[in-house]
């Protein structure tokens, strides 16, 4: 009859539920109790108050501070990563067993490092209490990592000095440390620009929250195959969106667009990732 027995009062010995108790429960229709015709449909009046404590509370406070203090604007661009994915597969076939597997993130990190040479104002932190923007030569790349305790930003220091495999190894190490709760304070602070990715759950468009006091965050959406018009013909290509947010107090829309386009140009022609 689809009745959850924990809702039925038992009148038998030691609270045992009798057949008559079941009949009476259904006859009363308590809380929309389902009948044989109703199936499993019934009202649910349960409530659960969950206080935000510990790390979850700190995450909530930081997100609130970021949205309160930073006037965000977002810029979304789609990128053809067909050639990038082909390169990644070839590199993994050639070097994967010896050096470890590459994901998209180390390649994106390399593109980010190169693009920041043209747009150093994106690799910065803004102290709005004193009105000072500090630009950094070092790229201390924040990598947002989802953990059971919530979203944490691990910091890959000096991304500009790491090759693809060194970046991949450090990203994996930091993610493991964050998820296991072993990340130290120095591994969770001091980033100058952040990448955030939901991997296969990345959707089409996101509006990432800037990691205060930084001025930019790059959001990675999932890679999907889509029909694309190229040279007048319809072809299937692997496409990925970058959904990025910027602090409009110190980053102009034109410069943000140019910065993302510079990243796009590098990812769509991945040979340029290795040209100094």
Residues catalogued as catalytic: 248, 252
Locate all alpha helices (DSSP H) within the chain, ordered by sequence. Answer: 19-28, 54-69, 82-99, 104-118, 164-180, 253-268
Interatomic CA distance for residues 10 and 29, integer angstroms: 16
For 118, other C-beta atoms within 10 Å of its C-beta total 11
Residue 174, phi then psi, degrees to nearest 5: -65, -40
For 69, other C-beta atoms within 10 Å of its C-beta total 15
Distance set, CA 86 to CA 95, 152, 160, 162 (Å): 14, 31, 24, 22
Contact 117, 151 (CB under 8 A): no
The number of CA neighbours under 13 Å toward the Cβ of 195 is: 26
User: CA nearest 106: which of 54, 169, 24?
Assistant: 169
Helix, strand, coil share of the chain (percent; to 5): 45, 25, 35
Distance set, CA 267 to CA 78, 109, 111, 121 (Å): 11, 10, 7, 21
């Amino acid at each position: 009859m689809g009745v959850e027995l924990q809702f039925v009062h038992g009148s038998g010995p030691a609270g045992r539920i009798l057949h008559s108790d079941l009949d009476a429960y259904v006859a009363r229709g308590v809380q929309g109790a389902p009948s044989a015709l109703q199936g499993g449909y019934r009202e649910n009046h349960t409530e659960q108050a969950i206080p935000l404590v510990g790390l979850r509370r700190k995450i909530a406070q930081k997100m609130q501070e970021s949205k309160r203090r930073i006037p965000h604007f977002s810029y979304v661009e789609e990128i053809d990563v067909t050639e990038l994915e082909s390169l990644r597969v070839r590199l993994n076939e050639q070097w994967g067993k010896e050096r470890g597997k590459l994901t998209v993130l180390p390649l994106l990190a390399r593109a980010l490092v190169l693009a920041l040479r043209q747009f150093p104002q994106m690799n910065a932190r803004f102290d709005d209490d004193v009105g000072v923007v500090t630009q950094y030569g070092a790229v201390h790349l924040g990598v947002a990592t989802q953990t059971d305790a919530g979203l944490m930003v691990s910091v890959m220091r000096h991304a500009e000095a790491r090759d693809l495999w060194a970046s991949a190894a450090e990203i994996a190490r930091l993610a493991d440390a964050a998820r296991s709760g072993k990340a130290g304070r120095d591994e969770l602070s001091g980033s100058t620009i952040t990448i955030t990715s939901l991997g296969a759950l990345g959707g089409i468009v996101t509006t990432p929250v800037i990691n205060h006091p930084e001025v930019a965050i790059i959001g990675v959406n999932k890679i999907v195959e889509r029909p694309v018009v190229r040279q007048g013909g319809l072809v299937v290509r692997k496409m990925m969106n970058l959904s990025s947010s910027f602090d409009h107090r110190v980053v102009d829309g034109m410069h943000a667009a140019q910065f993302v386009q510079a990243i796009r140009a590098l990812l769509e022609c991945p040979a340029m990732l290795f040209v100094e």
